[in-house]
C-alpha cells in the first residue's frame, strides 16, 4: 500500500521521514517517482496530476496539502473519490497570526507611517481604541472562527458572517444572504476567509464595498478570485475604502505592470498567510489514514457538491 505525495519537494523529504518513522506500513512515494501506479491508494497533493483517473486507477482518497481545495479541477476527479482538506493546526495558527498582523497594520495606520517615513515626516494620527473598531470576518468556519475568537481577545468589536448560523462567544454572528447587508454595514475592517466556490467568486466587488461604512478597509486572505481587483482600485480612488492588505491575488505573482505594486494604500504579500507544516500536519493525516483503514469517517471531508 503506497501514498503518493505531489507538492513542495523540500517539505516532501520531511513527510517521507515522518512516514518512515511512524507509519512504515504505508510506503511514501514522491512525485514524479510514482513506481507501480496500481499500488497507490492515497494521494497527498496541492494539485493532482491532470490524468488522475487513468494514472491512479486504485486510489482510495485524495488528501489536499492545503486548507482550500478550489485549485482542484473536481470535474476530472472520479465521482466517488473522497476529497479531504488539510486541518493542520499550523494553518489555523498561521491564519490567526496573519489576520492579527493585517488588522493591527490597518487599525494603527501603518501604511501612512511607512509613507511618512519615506518623506521624512513625523506626524501622529489619533489612535482609535480597539473597542471602537468594528471587525467583520467574512467566512466563519474553522479558520474564520479561530480568527474571530482571537481578535475578540484584543477588545475589538468582532462580528462574522457565514452561510449557516455559528455561535462564538464574544462574536456577533450573522447568517445567510439576508443578513449580509446588516453585517457589512458594521465592518470598519473586513477580513475575507471564505472558501472559493462559484457562489463566492468575485464577492468582493463594488456592490459589496458600497455596503461597507465609508473609509473601511479590506483584508483578503481567502483567494485572489474573491476580489474584483479593478473595483478595489476604484473604491480606493473615491475614498469608499481607505486601505487593503492582500495575501492572495488573481494572478500570483501579479504582472509587472499591475497597479497594486505601486499603490501605497495596498500591502501585498506573496500568499504566505499560512503554510502546512509536515510535523503538525502528519498526525492529522495519519489519523485520517487509520480512520479510513478502519472504515470510519475522516476529518475534513469535502462536500464536493458544496465545494468546500
Residue 72: Cβ within 10 Å count: 22
Residue-level length of the chain? 308
Give whichever of 66 and 159 is closer to ligand GLV, judged by the CB atom.
66
Q: Given candidates 68, 139, 141, 278, which one binds ligand GLV under the rule CB under 6 A?
A: 68
What binding mask, one character per residue, do residues 270-289 give for ligand GLV by CB under 6 A, x or -?
Answer: ----x---------------
| Closest distance to ligand GLV from the beta carbon of 66 (Å) | 3
Q: Is 22 a catalytic residue?
A: no
H helix runs in the chain, sequence order:
9-22, 52-55, 89-107, 110-118, 142-152, 180-184, 206-211, 229-238, 278-294
> What are the strands, taking DSSP E only, across 117-182?
134-138, 157-162, 172-175
By CB under 6 A, residue 66 contacts ligand GLV: yes
Q: Given candidates 2, 40, 62, 67, which one binds ligand GLV under the rule CB under 6 A?
A: 67
Of the listed 149, 258, 271, 304, which one is catalytic? Answer: 271
Give whichever of 117 and 197 is closer to ligand GLV, judged by the CB atom.
197
By CB under 6 A, residue 241 contacts ligand GLV: no
Q: How many amino acids of this chain bind ligand GLV (CB under 6 A)?
A: 5
Q: Is 109 a catalytic residue?
A: no
DSSP lists the bridge partners of residue 28 as 3
Among 39, 37, 31, 38, which residue's Cα sits nearest to residue 15?
31
Cis peptide before 305 (omega within 30 of 0): no
- Written as nine digits, the cell of 306 is 458544496
Binding to ligand GLV (CB under 6 A): which residues in 205-234?
Answer: none
Residues taking part in catalysis: 223, 271
Q: Which residues bind to ligand GLV, rule: CB under 6 A? A: 66-68, 91, 274
Amino acid at each position: 500500500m503506497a501514498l503518493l505525495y505531489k507538492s513542495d519537494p523540500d517539505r516532501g523529504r520531511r513527510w517521507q521521514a515522518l512516514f518512515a518513522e511512524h507509519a512504515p506500513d504505508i510506503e511514501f512515494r514522491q512525485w514524479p517517482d510514482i513506481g507501480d501506479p496500481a499500488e497507490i491508494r492515497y494521494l497527498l497533493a496541492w494539485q493532482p496530476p491532470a490524468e488522475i483517473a487513468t494514472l491512479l486507477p486504485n486510489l482510495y482518497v485524495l488528501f489536499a496539502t492545503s486548507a482550500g481545495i478550489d485549485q482542484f479541477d473536481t470535474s476530472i476527479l472520479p465521482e466517488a473519490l473522497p476529497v479531504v482538506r488539510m486541518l493542520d493546526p499550523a494553518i489555523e495558527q498561521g491564519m490567526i497570526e496573519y489576520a492579527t498582523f493585517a488588522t493591527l497594520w490597518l487599525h494603527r495606520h501603518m501604511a501612512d507611517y511607512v509613507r511618512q517615513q519615506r518623506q521624512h515626516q513625523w506626524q501622529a494620527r489619533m489612535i482609535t481604541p480597539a473597542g471602537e473598531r468594528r471587525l467583520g470576518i467574512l467566512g466563519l468556519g474553522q479558520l474564520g472562527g479561530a480568527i474571530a475568537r482571537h481578535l475578540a481577545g484584543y477588545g475589538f468589536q468582532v462580528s462574522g458572517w457565514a452561510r449557516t448560523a455559528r455561535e462564538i462567544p464574544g462574536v456577533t454572528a450573522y447568517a445567510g444572504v439576508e443578513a449580509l447587508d446588516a453585517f457589512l454595514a458594521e465592518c470598519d475592517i473586513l477580513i475575507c476567509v471564505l472558501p472559493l466556490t462559484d457562489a463566492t467568486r468575485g464577492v468582493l466587488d463594488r456592490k459589496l464595498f458600497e455596503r461597507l461604512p465609508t473609509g473601511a478597509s479590506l483584508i483578503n486572505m481567502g483567494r485572489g478570485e474573491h476580489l474584483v481587483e479593478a473595483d478595489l482600485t476604484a473604491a480606493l480612488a473615491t475614498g469608499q475604502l481607505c486601505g487593503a492588505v492582500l495575501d492572495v491575488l488573481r494572478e500570483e505573482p501579479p504582472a509587472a505592470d499591475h497597479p497594486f505594486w505601486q499603490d501605497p494604500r495596498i500591502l501585498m504579500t506573496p500568499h504566505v498567510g499560512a503554510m502546512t507544516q509536515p510535523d503538525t500536519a502528519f498526525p492529522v493525516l495519519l489519523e485520517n489514514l487509520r480512520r479510513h483503514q478502519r472504515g470510519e469517517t475522516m476529518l475534513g471531508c469535502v462536500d464536493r457538491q458544496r465545494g468546500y
